[in-house]
DNA sequence: GAAAATATAAACAGCTTACTCACATTTAAC
DNA sequence: GTTAAATGTGAGTAAGCTGTTTATATTTTC
């Protein structure tokens, strides 16, 4: 088997110049995120997205060369948002409790619009050429911020990266589960998630 | 819209009587789990399953009335296994540390064969008639065990159920993430997951 | 050796899908 | 006001895939 050769994979077929075309593209991406979140990758069709966006299918293909380019755009937009949440939460030095609270609040906010988009993007949507790179780079920077946070609030220097991964995936798991049950804004959940973070980072229950 | 009327939905079209038909059915379910785990619901087709099982498509339809009945069988088998893991871990009273270690070990083992099956079953696979019930009942019993464990190791009686949900979804998140990265058997991950559980249940980092 | 159980795979009808194209409308430039 | 570029439309298409049936072949049981 020869090494997989990357397709040309243009990101956009045409750059929107006027205001209305910018709005069209935005509407398509937004509707795409909605469809992807609500019906999963299996139900994600270009026709459905166009209809949900209140736009003809032709308009969609005027800007996006194919289906994958569209998913890519959706992915990029979502990941950027999530990343900025973590970046902000871990920006200045602050007590652990504040960090946890802000992180929880931000993550929940980021997932409130399209509750299951994140997981669908991570698990179901294919990462064919072009997105795998963005995907990996996102994951790397994502983990980077978590690692920094762990290093900041944790004594030992051991297993820092593993801890960051455990922490981030635990948070994602809780949020994903809550999203599925429409419980994202339950205050006791937010509190408990915050305490999970604090407890793990304080780590008094764990004599190494 | 009228209330959804349940289809007849027979569980099996014919009960296997001879040894080889039992083996056939088993092979189909096993292959189905593999296909579902590896390609997701979108790639889950009866023909593909039959081929993966080394069995003709006709044989599949001799026992399973339709696609959904097959998913149901897969779901039932997997959920039973996971449930028995938790049941065993929380069986007798034992120190928190032991409980955590055994739970982690069991969950990892249960997910090692088909790493992402659990999530696919929970998120992607449809729960049409017949399975929603099984699904809900599984979730209930699942949570029940976690709740019992939380109550056992935690002082306060407040928020016990929420804690159970947070704990279970956090664990699932970590395991799911590790599975995706083929890191399920990394020992430092197991250790850290154990410590997450202990820290949360000990809960010293969290002054309520 | 007959009847019941089990296995086979070609065939099909229907549906969905991603995507194109010829044309209509709107905006901007002069 | 005219023109050319930008943008929008949606019926149409061709291909692929799906779940399922059926008529036939093989194996087991008694």
Contact B131/B75 with Cβ under 8 angstroms? Answer: yes
Q: Which residue has the tokens 């959804």?
A: B4
pLDDT for the residue numbered A161: 95
More confident residue, A54 or B128: A54
pLDDT confidence of B119, banded at 50, 70, 90?
Answer: very high
Separation in Å: C3 C1' and B33 CA: 36
Taking 50 as the threshold, does the pLDDT of residue A198 lie above it? yes
- Here the contacts of B196-199 (C-beta below 8 Å, separation 24 or greater) are B196/A166, B196/A167, B196/A170, B196/A196, B196/A200, B196/B170, B196/B171, B197/B100, B197/B103, B197/B104, B197/B167, B197/B171, B198/A205, B198/A206, B198/B96, B198/B97, B198/B100, B199/A199, B199/A200, B199/A202, B199/A203, B199/A204, B199/A205, B199/A206
Q: How far is CA B68 from CA A29, A88, B5, B45, B204, in A?
A: 32, 45, 16, 11, 46
The integer distance in angstroms from the CA atom of A136 to the C1' atom of C13 is 43
Which chain A residues contact residue B104 at CB under 8 A? none
Using 50, 70 and 90 to split pLDDT, how confident is the model at A6? very low
* Mean pLDDT, residues B166-173: 97
In angstroms, the CA A137 to CA A148 distance is 17
Query: Per-residue confidence at B136, pLDDT binned at 50, 70, 90?
Result: confident
Chain A residues contacting B, CB < 8 Å?
40-42, 96, 116, 119, 122-124, 159, 162-163, 165-174, 176-178, 180, 186, 188-189, 191-196, 198-206, 208
Contacts of A168 in chain B (CB under 8 A): 177
Terminal CA-CA length for chain A: 47
pLDDT digit string (tens) for B61-84? 999 999 999 999 999 999 999 999
**Rg value, chain A, Cα:** 19
Q: Per-residue pLDDT for B143 more than 90? A: yes
**pLDDT band, very low/low/confident/very high, at A66 (cuts 50, 70, 90):** very high
∠ Cα B92 B95 B96 (to 5°): 105
Task: Round and report the angstrom distance from CA (B80) to C1' (C3).
Answer: 38
Classify residue B41 by its DSSP letter.
Answer: G
Q: Which residues contact A1 (CB under 8 A, 6 or more apart)?
A: none
| Average confidence score pLDDT of chain A | 90
CA distance A99 to B36: 39
Element (H, E) at A59: helix A57-63
pLDDT digits (tens, 9 = 90+) for A7-20: 555 789 999 999 99
Provide the CA B56 distance to its chain's centre, in angstroms.
28
- Cα–Cα dist A185/A180, whole Å: 12
Comparing C-alpha atoms, which of A94, A197, A192, A174 is closest to residue B208? A192
* Token pair listed for B133: 């019930």
Structure tokens at B197: 């559980």
Sequence-separated (6 or more) residues with CB below 8 Å from residue B81:
B110
**Distance separating alpha carbons of residues A57 and A37, to the nearest angstrom:** 20
Question: Which chain B positions have a beta carbon within 8 Å of A200's beta carbon?
Answer: 195-196, 199-200, 205
Which nt sits closest to B18, CA to C1'? C5
More confident residue, A78 or B6: A78
Asked whether the beta carbons of residue B203 and residue A199 sit closer than 8 angstroms, the reply is yes
Torsions phi, psi of A77, nearest 5? -65, -45
Mutation target vs A (from B107, B195, B208; most A CBs, 10 A cutoff): B195
Q: Which residue of B120, B200, B201 is the best one to mutate when testing the A interface, meaning the one whose CB has the most A CBs within 10 A?
A: B200
Model pTM above 0.85? yes
Shortest Cα distance, chain A CAs vs residue B127, angstroms: 14
pLDDT tens, position by position, B177-199: 999 999 999 999 999 999 999 99
Which nucleotide has the least CA–C1' distance to B17? C5
């Amino acid at each position: 088997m020869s090494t997989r050769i990357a397709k040309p994979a243009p990101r956009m077929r045409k750059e929107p110049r006027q205001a209305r075309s910018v709005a069209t593209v935005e509407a398509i991406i937004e509707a795409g995120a909605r469809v992807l979140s609500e019906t999963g990758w299996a139900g994600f069709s270009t026709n459905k997205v166009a209809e949900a966006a209140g736009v003809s299918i032709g308009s969609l293909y005027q800007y996006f060369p194919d289906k994958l380019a569209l998913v890519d755009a959706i992915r990029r937009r979502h990941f950027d948002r999530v990343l900025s949440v973590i970046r902000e939460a871990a920006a200045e030095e602050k007590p652990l409790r504040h960090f946890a609270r802000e992180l929880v609040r931000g993550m929940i906010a980021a997932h409130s619009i399209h509750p299951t988009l994140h997981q669908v993007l991570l698990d179901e949507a294919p990462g064919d050429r072009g997105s795998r790179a963005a995907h990996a780079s996102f994951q790397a920077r994502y983990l980077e911020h978590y690692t920094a946070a762990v290093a900041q609030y944790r004594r030992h220097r051991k297993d820092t990266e593993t801890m960051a991964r455990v922490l981030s995936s635990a948070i994602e798991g809780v949020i994903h589960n809550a999203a599925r049950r429409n419980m994202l804004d339950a205050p006791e959940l937010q509190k408990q998630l915050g305490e999970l973070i604090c407890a793990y980072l304080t780590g008094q229950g764990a004599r190494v």
